[in-house]
Structure 1
Amino acid sequence: MRDNVELQPLQNANVAEGDTVEDVESKHDAVPEQEQRLHVTEEQNRVILRKTDKHILITLMVVYFMQALDKTNLGIMNLLGLSQDLRLQGTQYSLVSSVIPFAQIAWQPFSSYLVVRVDTRILMTTLIVLWGTMETVLCAANSYASIMAIRFFLGLFEAGCLPLFSILTAQWYRRSEQPLRVALWYGTNGLSSIMAAVFGYGFAHMADGGPLFKWQGLAILCGGLTLLSAPLAWYRIDSTVDKARFLSPEEKALAKERLRANQTGVGSNEYKWVQLWEVACDPKSYLFVGIAILINAGAAITSAFGPTLINNMGFDKYISNLLNIPFGALQLILIVGASWIAQRYANKAIPLAVLQIPCLVGSILLYTEGTSGNFRQGIGLFGYYLLASVFGCNPLLIAWLMANTGGQTKKSALLALYQCGAAAGNVLGPMLFNAKDAPYYIPGLRGCMGIFAAQLVCVGATFVVLVLLNRQRRRQRIAAGKPEFIRDTSMAQQYEDYADDGVLGKKALGDLTDFKNDEFVYVY
């Protein structure tokens, strides 16, 4: 297959000189109507997609793996004696786990602005160096106060990671391609759980009485690996198609044309305050944030207390570490599998709702076994493994949010709110579990059941809102003299040129929000 592509203009896409975009936003927000439309063949589409995966996706996977490892390893550190060595009492370990989300919430207003205004290559590399340094410095913590301070700054520097990665995915991929790409970089959460367990098993066998505590060695190892990933981001990441160093000028034009059907733009460094008001007025903003809170409350339980829960089932610390390996593998399988189904059948709401069922069943099994007076290890472990389904939800929600949001500032702000919701869930989840409720944490499991049930309701409500918004856009198109129904080629499995009639698609590459673009089609 050829790696170089040639431009092929659409025969019927020429537009007369001097045409203007009719929209409530200014002309510079939309792509000029006289822009030449191009035909992208399936071969050209695959060449560009392959190059994008090679340079953008692989880098995102490596960097997100390191970020996930830095968060996941706290539970393993606790098994290695962190609480005992730092003399943590009561809810102090829960607060150590929760301080990162507090930092992320505090940083999100700045993150939303920086993601738009600062070049991605510079921002990502800087953040990697800063959070890798904090993870390494964690080995110097010698008290509750010091570990709280270090983990606060760790959370601060990690706060822009997920919004930044999500924006990049939206700017480089068609909407049909996004769920699986999000799953592949987000799925490294599962790999991080496996590696943290492997590292923990190794450090657990270190002899006592050495110059470092076992958990300190794990902190140095993870921090050092993170710092090594910074040059990769610097040399491989490009923020937009126009800045891509790995594409020729002809390929850049075709790569942008590939994204036309998304109707979500191709990136902008202008922060538009008016788009913030639209976020506040958009009902789906509140639903997406609500789902994020619920998902991450459930996920935080397994991240912070998973190893401890297994240990309290009667396994020693060595076996407890190893039993987290299947859990991590399940995470990865469910993340990729659920997103593949969402991409294959062009629907995210149904897989997102279905994933709540095993979570609900798992928490019920742990609850009933814990209250039975005769806890059976096999059933309890099976119930715990079912909770891995919650990790399949976040990539689906991120892809759902991105696909249904237009406008660079609006997207960045909504992703920042998503991160606030995720952080709030990460605070809420561990707080449900108190040391006095060990070994089975019955009150916390009761809270889990409510969380997973509430998420089902929120997903259903979001689906209804998107149906209503699509009806609203159809009425707008009719009023503007456009077709009521538009074929959404961005969700097609095979690439198709979008609206090659010279009428539709003129605003698609501009920085317009989904409310301001009457051709926007919401996806379920």
Structure 2
Amino acid sequence: MDEKPNPSVSDKESGSVLPNETPLYNAHVDISGVDEKKLIRKVDIALIPWLSFLYLLSFLDRTSIGNAKLYNLEGDLHMTDNQYLITLTVFFFSYAVFEVPSNVFLKRLRPSLWLSGLMLLWGVMMTVQGLVHNYSGLLTMRWFLGMFEAGLFPGVNYYLSCWYKRSEFGIRAAIFFSAATVSGAFGGLLAAAISNMHGVGGKPGWAWIFILEGLATVIAGIVSFWIIQDFPDTAKFLSEAERTVIVRRLQGDDQFSAAGEKLKWKYIFQSLLDWKTWAGMIIYCGCDMPLYAFALFLPSIINQLGFRATPANLLTVPVYVFACIITCLVGFLADRYGRRGFFNIGFLCLGAAGYIILISSKSAALSYFAVYLATCGIYPVIPNTIAWMSNNVEGSYKRSVSLAMLISFGNINGAVSSNVYRQKDQPRYVLGHGLVLMYIGFGIVSSVAYLFFTRRENAKRDRGERDEVIKGQTGGNEKNGTFESVVEAKREKGDDWSGYRYTL
């Protein structure tokens, strides 16, 4: 396919465009005084630390029940093991159901309002978990906790994709997601400390874990209204020239919808009918089900290696520190080299090796080592998969729905993880480890297939097999569509446009 001419700098600054090129965003704005590197650092500082902190609280709140279990949660609420597993499961159903609508609302409303409101509400649900007196009360609170938490993770990943180029998104997603690993380390330490409040106010130690962590989330939700920024074209912490630079650089990265897009049902249907959405969902469940199994049951697994409740919680800390380091490293390298699929396949294989050892090992030391290998197939793969899928979807609404579907399907499978580590299977948990290994296998096979088909599609586009007919120009095939201009083709076809190349 012939290269399309680019407007010269003088053309861009004057606001003129060559035929069939996208009109320059905010052509009247002078951007000569904006340092792009400083601008991106400014955006990083404004977005990443606080959003990562919010996800730390989110993951801490949903998984702290695993820590609380070690302090007689089941006994005090007169719960059976099956009832405990049901309380873990119900969270994932409400979480999965509300993810897609939440992402649509996020796009329609202000992120500062929507995300902070969700945080406030799930913080209340978390706090009330510490006030329940029976199984039904805990079950109800877990349902509402999942409903209100549903919007944060898919919402923030979509939100970040609206700020950064495709080659910049991976490391930001990895840093954001690494808050989950920090919460794992912090959660063990925090649970061990809070458990010492046992008996204060007549409440057991596990109740204080829920109450104090929930109150922290409530406060963070209130503060977030003033800290969370909105989308690039309306963000108040940037000047008009800075907002213009952000949008123009995104449009130059084939994110044609960066300047804004009206909600149309066809964008949602495009996501539903795109094979990449469904393939991505299988890839994601291949690491997301293992994630929740790992996070919810790691303290119990270590406990069964011969350590009591508090030492078991403390021994989770170095595992999560390692997971944080490897997650950020993979995010950085995948951004630099752009081979997200190869990183996925390689690290999923490492995770599979870890679970094979866990199934076969009879040594506590060897099993503890295998836990570190297992993290390699889980934590770095989650943000890398999200970045990979985001990189290959154009259209702001289509991307919001695709990412929400991806994460929603992963969390439905998270419900499976809540039921596979049964007390009767301890200490080796062969069933749980075996099912996690099966899911990792799904991730490996689907990643290979996704890589193969996107590579093949790029080759077809390079050969001109996907070229559209542009009126007034020669070439193209009518079966690929006929358009008045390249601008119209980009807008209507999104990532199906012949000039768009998928990230491998």
TM-score normalised by length of structure 2:
0.89
Q: Does 1:412 align with 2:400?
A: yes
Say whether the 8 Å CA contact 1:267–1:511 is kept in structure 2.
Answer: no
CA contact (8 A) 1:13 1:36 kept: yes
In the other structure, the counterpart of 2:365 is 378
Q: CA deviation at 1:339?
A: 0.8
1:427 correspondence with 2:427: no
Indicate conservation of the 8 Å contact 2:123/2:217, yes or no. yes
Residues 9 and 37 in structure 1, CA contact (< 8 A), matched pair in contact too: no
- CA distance in 2 between counterparts of 1:300 and 1:18 reads 50
Instruction: From 190, 193, 198, give the equivalent of 1:199.
Output: 190
Tell me if structure 2 keeps the 8 A contact 1:132–1:226.
yes
- Matched with 1:276 is 268
Contact residue 96 and residue 412 of structure 2 kept, 8 A: yes
Question: Who is 1:167 aligned against?
Answer: 158
Distance in 2 of aligned mates of 1:21 and 1:130: 48
Question: Could you say if the C-alpha distance between residues 109 and 189 of structure 1 is closer, same or farther in structure 2, counting changes exceeding 3 Å?
Answer: closer
Match of 1:69 in 2: 60
Q: Is the 8 A contact 1:292 1:425 kept in 2?
A: no
| Partner residue, 1:285 | 277
- Aligned residue number for residue 458 of structure 1: 446
* Contact residue 193 and residue 328 of structure 1 kept, 8 A: yes
Aligned to 2:4: none
CA–CA separation in structure 2 for the residues paired with 1:459 and 1:367: 24
Which of these residues, 352, 375, 379, is aligned with residue 388 of structure 1?
375
For the residue of structure 2 that corresponds to 1:514, the secondary structure is helix
1:296–1:429 Cα contact (<8 Å) kept: no
Q: Is the 8 A contact 2:233 2:259 kept in 1?
A: no
What SS is found at the alignment partner of 1:391? coil
1:52 to partner: Cα distance:
0.5
Whether the 8 Å CA contact 2:57–2:183 is kept in 1: the answer is yes
1:69-121 alpha-carbon deviations (Å, 9 max, x no partner): 11221211111221222122132222211211100122134224212211211
Q: In the alignment, residue 405 of structure 1 is paired with which amino acid?
A: V
Distance 1:38 1:467 in 2: 39
SS at match of 1:239: coil
Shift of 1:33: 6.5
Partner Cα distance (1:512, 1:215) in 2 = 54
Hey, what does 1:438 align to over in structure 2?
Answer: 426
- Corresponding position: 1:354 with 2:342: no
Aligned counterparts of 1:161 and 1:438: Cα–Cα separation in 2 = 34
Cα distance change of structure 1 residues 206 and 18 upon mapping to structure 2, 3 Å threshold: closer
Distance in 1 between residues matched to 2:193 and 2:156, nearest whole Å:
32
- SS for the counterpart of 2:262 is coil
CA offsets per residue over residues 360-407 of structure 1, 9 Å max, x none?
Answer: 1111111112xxxxx321011111222212111110011111111011
CA contact (8 A) 2:100 2:408 kept: no
Structure 1 residues 107-126: aligned runs within 5 Å: 107-126=98-117
Equivalent residues in 2 for 1:122-271, closer than 5 Å: 122-207=113-198, 211-264=202-255, 265-266=257-258, 268=260, 270-271=262-263
**Matching residue of 2:319:** 327
Once the two structures are TM-superposed, the CA of residue 514 in structure 1 deviates from its matched residue by 2.8
Structure 2, gaps ≥5 residues long: 1-6, 477-484
- Matched letter for residue 358 of structure 1: L
Q: Which amino acid aligns with 1:338?
A: V
- Aligned-partner Cα distance in 2 for 1:452–1:517: 33
1:277-316 equivalent positions in 2, closer than 5 A? 277-316=269-308
Residues 505, 400 of structure 1: alpha-carbon distance in 2 compared, 3 angstrom cutoff: farther
Please report how far the alpha carbon of residue 230 of structure 1 lies from its aligned counterpart in structure 2 after TM superposition. 2.1
Q: 1:403 aligns with which of 391, 404, 423?
A: 391
Listed one character per residue, the Cα deviations across residues 338-357 of structure 1 (whole Å, up to 9, x for unaligned) are: 11110121111111111112
- The answer (yes or no) to whether the contact 1:365–1:380 under 8 Å persists in 2 is yes
Give TM-score, length-normalised by structure 1. Answer: 0.86
Which sections of structure 1, spanning at least 5 residues, go unmatched? 1-7, 23-30, 370-374, 485-503
Amino acid at match of 1:343: D
Superposition RMSD in Å: 2.9
Q: CA 1:87–1:9 in structure 2 vs 1: closer, same or farther (change >3 Å)?
A: farther
Distance in 2 between the 1:284 and 1:364 partners? Answer: 30
2:503 maps to 523
Measured against aligned partners, the alpha-carbon deviations of 1:260-307 in whole angstroms (never above 9, x if no partner) come to 233222264632111122223211111100111121111111111111
> Which residue identity lines up with residue 292 of structure 2 in the other structure?
A
Query: Shift of residue 47 of structure 1?
Result: 1.6
Question: Following the alignment from structure 2 to structure 1, what is the Cα–Cα distance between the partners of residues 137 and 394?
Answer: 42
How many residues in Structure 1 have an aligned counterpart in Structure 2? Answer: 484
**Aligned amino acid, residue 422 of structure 1:** G
Contact 2:66 2:297 in 1 (8 A): yes
Query: Which one has a larger percent helix, Structure 1 or Structure 2?
Result: 2
CA distance in 2, matches of 1:462, 1:41: 41
2-structure distance, mates of 1:37, 1:478: 32
Q: Given the alignment of the two structures, is residue 86 of structure 1 paired with residue 77 of structure 2, yes or no? A: yes
Any conservation in 1 of the 2:392–2:503 contact (CA below 8 Å)? yes
Q: In the alignment, which residue of structure 2 is the partner of 1:470?
A: 458
Distance 1:322 1:267, change over 3 A: farther
8 Å CA contact 1:51–1:246 kept in 2: the answer is no
**Which amino acid in the other structure matches residue 392 of structure 2?**
N
User: Per the alignment, do residues 33 and 195 of structure 1 end up closer, same or farther by CA in structure 2, a change over 3 Å counting?
Assistant: closer
Higher RCO (Cα < 8 Å, 6 or more apart): 1
